[in-house]
Structure 1
Amino acid sequence: MGKFLPLSICFVDGRSMQVSSISEAEKALAGHWPKKEADAYREAARLLAAARDGICTPDTAFLAFEKAARQQCLLKPRKSSAGLRILDSLSAPN
């Protein structure tokens, strides 16, 4: 299991994967992205490599990956947990 909360990525070719670590994020970058030449994509690739080499913090690299995936609309929405659904129902007006 990875260090980060898992992100569900759905690639252009329809494949999907869960990403929750630096190594999984690097594998995901090899998938089918709409624009691999985009600045956010290239920055994520650079920071993930730097994190693997110990030059960059993993948190910074993973955030860059998430930003790139979000900009290219590859993130699947997260389902709220059962606990959050209960809290939402309790706080909703009658």
Structure 2
Amino acid sequence: MLIVQVQVQVVPDGVDAFIEATKANAAGSRQEPGVVRFDAIQEVDDPSRFVLIEAYRDEQAAADHKLTAHYATWRDAVAPLMAAPRTSVKYTDIDYPG
């Protein structure tokens, strides 16, 4: 499994638009066969900061996600809302018994 954690800082007056675009992207993403989980969380102390937590079955599923219409719509909608370029960190899950 591939887990991607995306950090996003949005301009203060873009928060509502970012949330709406991200809700639509998350809904579409959750329908993809290779997506295990897709969550968006907002920082309490700074509501302009978000983290997207995306879990994919494998690298190919992550690549396929970036080819979807809902991702392209999200990417284009949120680009002008960014206060800084988004960053991401990739993780793998730890398989353990029980």
TM-score range for the pair, normalised by the shorter chain length:
0.3 to 0.5
| Higher-helix-fraction structure | 1
| Higher-strand-fraction structure | 2
Which has more radius of gyration?
1
* More relative contact order, 1 or 2 (CA 8 Å, 6+ apart): 2
Using structure 1 for the length normalisation, give the TM-score: 0.34
